């Protein structure tokens, strides 16, 4: 039995940021290669710190849904998931034993060799009659002077496509490192140039920075005798789904011995289902058993009959993404669960649905009820931050306390990381008895803002 975990960046601000990961997780579930497909995020829930706890089996493959190697795949994800690895990931991935679970961490999907075919497809969409006689292909990468690995994949794709002979010239140029993208007129001599951004999705760079820097006026721009065709980013091509399926199959081939049920995980869910069978209030929701099925609804909607009926875990996931006032809910235990719905599931779907409604809450709540959940104090969380988040190490205890009061005051969880006590959990009949083992990335982000605002004031 094997679990697959797809890792996305996620966002504290954009409710649509995780959509691509949702899409690929659903696709892979449908393929049935793995016995379960889960998702974890840097800036959403379940977080990178929590996601391994949510895996049902003792064999777990983790695929980062990133387009290139770099800071996130080499530093943030392995660090936060406790993989004991930093730096470039070898082609065969990194394998670790963590608490009786085999965790296999792969390269990101963007480095898969079949990405070259996706780039060529994008180029042919932009310029259907591209020919080896007069057409150059320019792959535009982000690049960063801090990590040469992030551009390596762009060069590899350029080499492979050059070897295919499908274009007169092939070049790799970058926004943030040399050779820069604006040097293309000197580097390429072909009459026609197809430019393809090696980016995950449309955004600021693909829609503004690149066109502005290069003077592009649309999908086709004339530069005197030469014509530039500007294509869509590779990450949104439908064929990416095939790349991800291929990557999952490759990963599966490296997992010859299937795992088994993770006993800790199963114990938590068995205890939860026993409570659910008797009727249970969890956070702001009530679970009521009925004729072998389970109804979930906001507790405040008890007795209402005019509710929207939801029939799938994904339907519930999407319904609770925004509050009733339209606010995005990156932290699912914020006290703003939208009302007006009820969902009905069988036992298997109830597990997935609760995983979407309150990610990792069953696993962590059960550990807390057994007095076995280890809290991570703020000082440790701050110390392990890197990149722009190292700033939180300069937060004063007063700033941490004040920001936490503001942010966590709206959250159901009890801050074990701040020394607060949780004597009884929802397993013991207290609906809001949900532990918070360590500061979430939403709070870390807010503390960073607090420090930045204070430092700005000090400079003025
Ligand atoms: Fe909730 Fe605060 Fe914990 Fe974040 S840090 S999950 S806001 S209690």
Q: Is 439 in the pocket of ligand 1 (CB under 6 A)?
A: yes
Query: Considering the chain, what percentage of its residues have pLDDT values greater than 90?
Result: 76
| Amino acid 340: pLDDT | 97
pLDDT at 150 over 80: no
Residue 411 Cα to ligand 1 middle (Å): 6
Query: Considering the chain, what percentage of its residues have pLDDT values greater than 70?
Result: 99
Region 97-109: mean pLDDT is 92
Tell the residue nearest (CA) to atom 5 of ligand 1. 439
Tell the residue nearest (CA) to atom 2 of ligand 1. 408
> How far apart are alpha carbons 357 and 287 in whole angstroms?
12
Q: Is 442 in the pocket of ligand 1 (CB under 6 A)?
A: yes
| Residue, of 448 and 16, whose pLDDT is higher | 448
| Amino acid 146: pLDDT | 66
> How far apart are alpha carbons 392 and 448 in whole angstroms?
5
Region 388-395: mean pLDDT is 96
Residue 89 Cα to ligand 1 middle (Å): 31
**Token pair of 323, please?**
């509050």
Q: How confident is the model at residue 147 (pLDDT cuts 50, 70, 90)?
A: low
pLDDT at 351 over 90: yes
Nearest Cα to Cα of residue 281 among 432, 415, 436: 432
Specify the DSSP class assigned to residue 305.
-
User: Residue 318: is it exposed, middle or buried by C-beta count within 10 angstroms (0-12/13-18/19+)?
Assistant: middle
> How far apart are alpha carbons 334 and 106 in whole angstroms?
33
Ligand 1 site-directed mutation target among 378, 413, 417, 421, most atoms within 8 Å of CB: 413
Write down all domains in the chain, each with its CATH number in brackets.
3-111+239-262 (3.40.50.1400), 115-236 (3.40.50.1400), 264-359 (3.30.1360.190), 376-459 (3.30.70.2320)
| Amino acid 238: pLDDT | 85
From the CA of 410, give the closest atom in ligand 1: 7
Could you count the other beta carbons within 10 Å of the beta carbon of residue 266?
A: 13
| Amino acid 240: pLDDT | 87
Cβ atoms of 243 and 112 within 8 Å: the answer is yes
pLDDT at 436 over 90: yes
Ligand 1 site-directed mutation target among 403, 411, 432, most atoms within 8 Å of CB: 411
pLDDT at 448 over 70: yes
Q: What is the pLDDT of residues 2-14, one digit of tens each?
A: 999 999 998 898 8
| Amino acid 19: pLDDT | 84
Ligand 1 site-directed mutation target among 12, 283, 331, most atoms within 8 Å of CB: 331
> How far apart are alpha carbons 401 and 243 in whole angstroms?
45
Residue 46 Cα to ligand 1 middle (Å): 12
| Amino acid 31: pLDDT | 83
Across the chain, mean pLDDT equals 93
| Amino acid 203: pLDDT | 78
Q: Is 407 in the pocket of ligand 1 (CB under 6 A)?
A: yes
Q: What is the pLDDT of residues 420-430, one digit of tens each?
A: 999 999 999 99
User: Residue 123: is it exposed, middle or buried by C-beta count within 10 angstroms (0-12/13-18/19+)?
Assistant: buried
pLDDT at 392 over 70: yes
| Amino acid 48: pLDDT | 96
Tell the residue nearest (CA) to atom 4 of ligand 1. 440
Q: Is 444 in the pocket of ligand 1 (CB under 6 A)?
A: no
Residue 337 Cα to ligand 1 middle (Å): 15
pLDDT at 338 over 90: yes
Query: In this predicted complex, what is the ipTM?
Result: 0.99
| Amino acid 304: pLDDT | 95
Cβ atoms of 173 and 187 within 8 Å: the answer is yes
Q: Is 381 in the pocket of ligand 1 (CB under 6 A)?
A: no
| Amino acid 202: pLDDT | 77
| Amino acid 359: pLDDT | 97
Hey, what's the torsion of the CAs at 295, 317, 41, 203, to 10 degrees?
A: 180
- Whole-angstrom CA distances from 111 to 20, 104, 244, 271, 412 are 17, 17, 11, 42, 40
Q: What is the pLDDT of residues 205-256, one digit of tens each?
A: 888 889 999 999 999 999 999 999 999 999 888 888 888 888 878 877 876 7
Region 174-197: mean pLDDT is 94
| Amino acid 20: pLDDT | 84
From the CA of 414, give the closest atom in ligand 1: 8
**Token pair of 99, please?**
């608490």
> How far apart are alpha carbons 72 and 52 in whole angstroms?
17
Nearest Cα to Cα of residue 338 among 326, 352, 353, 354: 326
């Amino acid at each position: 039995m094997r679990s697959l975990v797809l890792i996305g960046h996620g966002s504290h601000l954009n409710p649509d940021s995780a959509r691509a990961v949702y899409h690929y997780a659903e696709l892979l579930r449908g393929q049935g290669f793995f016995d379960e497909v889960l998702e974890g995020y840097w800036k959403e829930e379940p977080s990178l710190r929590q996601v391994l706890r949510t895996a049902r089996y003792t064999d777990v493959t983790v695929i980062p849904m990133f387009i290139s190697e770099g800071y996130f795949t080499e530093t943030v994800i392995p660090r936060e998931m406790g993989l004991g690895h930093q730096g470039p990931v070898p082609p065969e991935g990194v394998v670790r034993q963590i608490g009786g679970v085999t965790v296999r961490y792969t390269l990101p999907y963007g480095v898969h060799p079949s990405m070259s075919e996706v780039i060529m497809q994008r180029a042919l969409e932009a310029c259907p009659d591209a020919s080896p006689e007069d057409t150059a292909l320019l792959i535009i990468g982000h690049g960063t002077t801090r990590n040469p690995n992030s551009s390596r994949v762009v060069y590899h794709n350029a080499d492979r496509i050059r070897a295919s002979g499908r274009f007169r010239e092939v070049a790799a140029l970058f926004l943030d490192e040399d050779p820069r993208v604006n040097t293309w007129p000197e580097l390429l001599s072909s009459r026609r140039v197809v430019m393809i951004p090696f980016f995950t999705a449309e955004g600021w760079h693909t829609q503004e920075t690149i066109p502005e820097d290069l003077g592009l006026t649309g999908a086709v721009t004339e530069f005197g005798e030469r014509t530039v065709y500007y294509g869509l980013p590779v990450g949104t091509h439908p064929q990416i789904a095939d790349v991800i399926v291929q990557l999952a199959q490759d990963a599966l081939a490296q997992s010859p011995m299937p795992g088994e049920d993770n006993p800790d995980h199963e114990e938590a869910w068995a205890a939860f289902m026993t409570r659910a069978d008797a009727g249970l209030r969890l956070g702001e929701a009530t679970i009521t058993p009925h004729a072998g099925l389970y109804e979930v609804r906001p507790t405040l909607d008890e007795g209402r009959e005019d509710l929207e009926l939801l029939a799938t875990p994904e339907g519930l996931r999407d319904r609770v993404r925004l509050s009733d006032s339209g606010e995005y809910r990156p932290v699912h235990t914020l006290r703003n669960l939208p009302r007006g719905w009820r969902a009905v599931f069988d036992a298997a779907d109830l597990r997935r649905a609760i995983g979407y409604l309150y990610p990792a809450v069953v696993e962590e709540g059960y550990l807390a009820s057994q007095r076995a959940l280890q809290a991570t104090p703020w000082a440790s969380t701050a110390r392990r931050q890197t990149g722009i988040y190292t700033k939180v190490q300069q937060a004063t205890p007063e700033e941490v306390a004040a920001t936490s009061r503001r942010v966590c005051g709206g959250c159901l969880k009890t801050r074990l990381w701040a020394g607060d006590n949780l004597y009884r959990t929802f397993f013991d009949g207290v609906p809001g008895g949900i532990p918070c083992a360590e500061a979430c990335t939403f709070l870390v982000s807010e503390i960073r803002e607090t420090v930045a605002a204070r430092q700005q004031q000090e400079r003025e």
